[in-house]
Structure 1
Amino acid sequence: MDASPPAGRPPPVDLPLSLDRSSRVGLARQLAGQLRAAVSGGQLEPGQRLPSTRALAAALGIGRNIVFEAYEDLLAEGFLTGRDRSGTFVAPDLAVDRVPGAARPAPSSSARWLQRDVPEPQVEHPGPPDLLAFRVGQTDTAALTHGDWRRVWRAVADTPLPGDYADPAGDPDLRGAVAAYLKRARGFVCDPDDVIITSGALQGVDLIAQAVLAPGDQVAFEDPGYRLARQIFQERGARITPLPVDNDGLRLDALPGGRRTPLLVYTTPSHQFPLGVRLSIPRRLALLEWAHAHDALVIEDDYDSEFRYGAAPLPSLASLDTGGHVVYLGTFSKVLSPAVRVGYVVAPRPLRERLLRVKSRSDAHTSWPVQRALALMITQGHLERHIRRMRKTYAARRAALSGALAGCRPQARLMGLEAGLHAHLELDPSLDAAGVSERARALGVIVPTLGAYYLDRADRNGLLIGYGGLDLPDVRRGAQALVQAVMEAAREA
């Protein structure tokens, strides 16, 4: 077994060297030439340690003297340097005339396989570090840097690593833990075999799109809505039917009929993204009745229902469904962090088998160590304790945000506060949301406009305020800047 390199010493590089014994050029010259080219081409960096003469000779199946001769030539030329008892290195101060990345030529933009347009993902960017950002989708991870989080990872590290691919549906322990959690937290009774573990909710959306849709199929989508999910359907060839949202959620009266009857409806009923409203019980029941009558599928994206503030929980669509027309999406991105990259799909049995076939050929299975850690987080009660702690934390930030933005009235009012980690500030029609956003940025605060989340013409004027990733002082400071921006815009309107 090879010994590990001493602490602080970089390991020797493993180069793809190949010597031609039939060539008239000697092996030592060939080896020196290839090493020289590796230095010039950037495969070997200044200061990089090379294999020992004994190790390289054994790897290439040549005599040690040949390697020694090649190294001697490069030492004499100044490409290499030797350190007593430490090995042979690329000269650390070597000035090589090369362009970074030049070793891989760029293909012509006219290449046939580059003709399909791939739009930029519609995501928020953090912005300059000196600006405070009300970013949607951010969580507070400070409570996970010690205690329960560390304990579960130590337990995972003590578990032998499997030597084979795992079940594409996910780790059985995690699927069982998710099913039990949904029963406790959402009143949704499902079997562990109904659960598929994914690499985040967006993978779940994509799996469904691949398993269900044919090019040209109609997908009804909340407008405004979750842009990345909408983009996935569009890239899979679906035709999007935008459905308006009011204070009771998705408007079912806008569902088209005839040839344009949607095959699939995507909704975020527990905390509509991005408006924050909740789909009322009558509309939940009506949506299920519509799906049954038209043999359609409903995707229920329940992305942050764990965080409710004084509002009674409404039953999930999946828990009300008696006909197998709802597929449920959940994620750990909001209860823990987007960095975890684990979500889950609960699907009717016939659809589940199709989803597994698609998943098996896309990524085989979700990361086993992360699944094991999450299973322990749930089964040992850590996750729900964390959720209870974070409800109090986020509720305090929500209250601070609401109190500070009360100073915007009557020019603006805060909406969508019943649940989740974001709200929206609805502006008076006389105010320009983009202008208010620019004023806020000048005051050191980044806040996106609501209009960016619409596919059709925006029927609301406002800003989207994500407060999950900010501490209380920053929430207050950012809210005060927003009040100033709104009031300045109102004076000039």
Structure 2
Amino acid sequence: MVIRLDRAAPLQPQLYDQLKASILTGATAPGTRLPSSRALADQFAISRNTVLIAYEQLLAEGYLETRPGAGTFVGTALPAGAEALPGDAAAGSIPHPPPRLSRYSERLRGLDIDSLTRGGGLRYSFHYGTVSAADFPADTWRRLLLREIRRRAGKPYLYENPQGLPELRAALSDYLSRARGVRARPEQILIVNGSQQAVDLALRVLVDPGDAVVVEDPGYSGARLACEAIGARLLRVPVDAEGMDTGRLPPPEAGARLAFVTPGHQFPTGGVMPVSRRLALLDWAGRGGTVVFEDDYDSEYRYEGRPVESLQALDRSGLVIYSGTVSKVLSPGLRLGYMVLPPDLVGPFLHAKQLTDRHTASLDQAVFAHFIRDGHFERHIRRTRRRNQRRRDVLVAALQAAFGPAVEIQGAKAGMHVVVRFRDIPSALASSVAEAAALRSVGIVPAEMAGERAEGRAGFLMGYAALEDADIRQGVALLHEAVQSFRRGGEG
């Protein structure tokens, strides 16, 4: 066998790699007797321990075998054909047919999954869904985290309840009742890794390929893509200024298994569903036996009056799943969300959750429970609501000052983003406008990327929760420069 050692690098890994490659390529055939560790060490003037360690690792992995009184040999029980592998086998470049993918994976290949994470990284990023690092209550969270770590000191680390820590579910039960009117006993609450896992679990538990699912049009692309990935048949219901148009729901006999809605603050348009439509939706669901998934993703941020009551609070048939998350009010990095399930669905969802990831990170759950019980959560929401209202006001004022009547702003009463439509830029140019803005370090998202259909005018989602006042003004000024060549009639 040919072995070349670089004295400037560690010797034992080199010896191991070259011996293994010689065996895999067939240069050293099965059953070949290797030199003794002493003889090989003398041959290359290296430590015998270096050879022994390499031999022991190869023995442990089955490349070598020992015969009492005879020495060390290349294993004779290697997988069939191993001796015929080409010389670059160790690099993993052996030609082979691609692995066979499931139908689920094949459907994923045709979907624009990356659209869920585009838009960040620019100096003036108005990407929706991002939050300010300065708003995170770092000192309080750190103090509660250290307190929880000390409390757990000396105790064994165990797999926790897959449904979520009892103390967090109890704290959420109280909070959701006060803040959103949600009727939720702790045993109805399931802790999940953000709202996207809640969507995924609902589809796994309730929908088979080919089943009908109602979605808002336009609506949250994360729900729509998950439906398409699982093979559901989408029934799109248009939205207007008051959210989903319940007068255009499919007939109950269409057999929809699930309906995704954002009644508290429709995504992406910002409409709020009035009680008449909420009751109509619940009546429709009851007649068809359809489960309604209420995504209450940023309900805490309402700037005119108090937050509207949840859809689940009106449900008397046990058909509404309520879903919330801390991604918008604390940080997307925490991956903490929660579902309030009808009693009959708790068991099936719990089993699906347990098979998915066993349980959500328990340390973060414990800290969040303290954060709620000690009153920090509601104080934090009040503080960030004021800050985001100010940011919204700055953005709206800057857009109106820069563009005047050429822009129409929608969805400013709640949430963390607005929809901005340019009356003098055609919708076909929206992507080009976004690219031109990006060259000036301004990030905006064309409305159609969020699932909204073009209406003849270029529309964009502009989030404001991650930017401070000066950056908002500067970002709008740079946007004004970027869009001039696209506008019909110049300044209008």
**TM-score under structure 2 normalisation?**
0.78
* Aligned-partner residue type, residue 116 of structure 2: V
Cα shift at 1:350: 0.9
* 1:302-321 to 2 correspondences below 5 Å: 302-321=296-315
Q: Which residue of 349, 360, 369 maps to 1:355? A: 349
SS of the residue 1:113 aligns to: coil
Match of 1:346 among 327, 340, 343: 340
The one-letter code sitting in structure 2 at the alignment partner of 1:155 is R
Percent of pairs with identical residues: 36
- Cα gap change, 1:403 to 1:371, in 2 (>3 Å): same
Please show how residues 179-198 of structure 1 align to structure 2 within 5 Å: 179-198=173-192
Report the count of equivalent residues. 425
Equivalent of 1:414 in 383, 386, 409: 409
- Say which SS state the counterpart of residue 164 (structure 2) adopts: coil
Deviation at 1:240, TM superposition (A): 0.9
Partner AA of 1:427 in structure 2: F
| Alignment partner, residue 472 of structure 1 | 469
- Residues 145, 317 of structure 1: alpha-carbon distance in 2 compared, 3 angstrom cutoff: closer
Going from structure 1 to structure 2, the CA distance change for 1:31 and 1:170 (only over 3 Å counts) comes to: farther
Is 1:151 matched up with 2:139?
no
Q: 1:127 to 1:342 in 2, by over 3 A?
A: closer
1:25 aligns with 2:25: no
2:448 paired with 1:451: yes
Give, in whole Å, the separation in 1 of the partners of 2:457 and 2:332: 28
Cα separation, partners in 2 of 1:295 and 1:141, compared to 1, 3 Å = same
Gaps of 5+ in 2: 1-11, 24-30, 42-48, 60-86
Which shows bigger deviation, 309-318 or 364-373? 309-318
Q: Which is worse superposed, 280-289 or 155-164?
A: 155-164
- Whether 1:301 and 2:310 are equivalent positions in the alignment is no
Q: What is the distance in 2 between the residues matched to 1:177 and 1:304?
A: 19
Q: Is residue 2:418 matched to residue 1:423?
A: yes
Give the AA of the match of 1:437. Answer: A
Conserved 8 A contact 1:255-1:261: no
Q: CA deviation at 1:29?
A: 7.2
In the TM superposition, residue 414 of structure 1 has moved relative to its aligned partner by 1.3
- Residue 423 of structure 2 aligns with an amino acid whose one-letter code is D
The within-5 A match list for 1:225-240 is 225-240=219-234
CA offsets per residue over residues 408-462 of structure 1, 9 Å max, x none? 2322121111111111102327533334334433433121111122376668741
More helix as a share of residues:
2
Output the CA distance in 2 between the equivalents of 1:236 and 1:134: 31
The alpha-carbon distance between structure 1 residues 111 and 386, as it changes in their structure 2 partners (threshold 3 A), is same
Give the secondary-structure state (helix, strand or coil) at the position aligned to 1:345.
strand
Partner Cα separation in structure 2 for residue 30 and residue 278 of structure 1:
82
In 1, distance between residues paired with 2:260 and 2:93? Answer: 42
Matched-pair contact (CA < 8 Å) for 2:252–2:287: no
Q: Give the structure 1 partner of residue 328 of structure 2.
A: 334
1:89-128 correspondence runs (5 A) = 103-105=91-93, 108=96, 110-113=98-101, 116-117=105-106, 118-119=108-109, 120-121=112-113, 122-126=115-119
User: How far apart are 1:223 and its partner, in Å?
Assistant: 1.2
Aligned runs of 1:188-337 on 2, under 5 Å?
188-257=182-251, 259-337=253-331
CA RMSD, 1 decimal: 3.4
User: Once the 2 structures are TM-superposed, how far is the Cα of residue 492 of structure 1 from its aligned partner?
Assistant: 4.1
Query: Which secondary structure state, in structure 2, belongs to the residue aligned with residue 242 of structure 1?
Result: strand
What amino acid sits opposite 1:223 in the alignment? D
Assess, with a 3 A threshold, how the Cα gap between structure 1 residues 29 and 171 changes in structure 2: closer, same or farther: farther
Aligned to 1:46: none
Q: Tell whether the 8 Å contact from 1:451 to 1:458 is kept in structure 2 after alignment.
A: no
The one-letter amino acid of 2:270's match is G
Structure 1 residue 208: Cα displacement: 0.8
Q: Secondary structure at the match of 1:409?
A: helix
Structure 1: how far apart are the matches of 2:215 and 2:255?
A: 12
C-alpha spacing 1:457/1:406, structure 2 compared with 1 (3 Å): closer
Matches within 5 A, 1:360-375: 360-375=354-369
Q: C-alpha separation between the residues in 2 aligned to 1:112 and 1:29? A: 48
Per-residue deviation at 1:26? 4.5
Q: 1:441 aligns with which of 435, 438, 443?
A: 438
Work out whether residues 197 and 342 of structure 1, in 8 Å CA contact, stay in contact via their aligned partners in 2: yes
Letter in 2 for 1:467: Y
TM-score with structure 1 setting the length? 0.77
Matched to 2:34, the amino acid is V
- Tell me how far apart the structure 2 counterparts of residues 125 and 392 of structure 1 sit (CA, whole Å): 28
Q: Please give the residue correspondences for 1:370-385 in structure 2 after superposition, counting only pairs within 5 Å.
A: 370-385=364-379
How far does the alpha carbon of each residue in 1:25-66 deviate from its partner, in whole angstroms, 9 at most, with x for none?
Answer: 24637998xxxxxxxxxxxxxxxxxxx98x979x98x9xxxx
SS at match of 1:451: helix
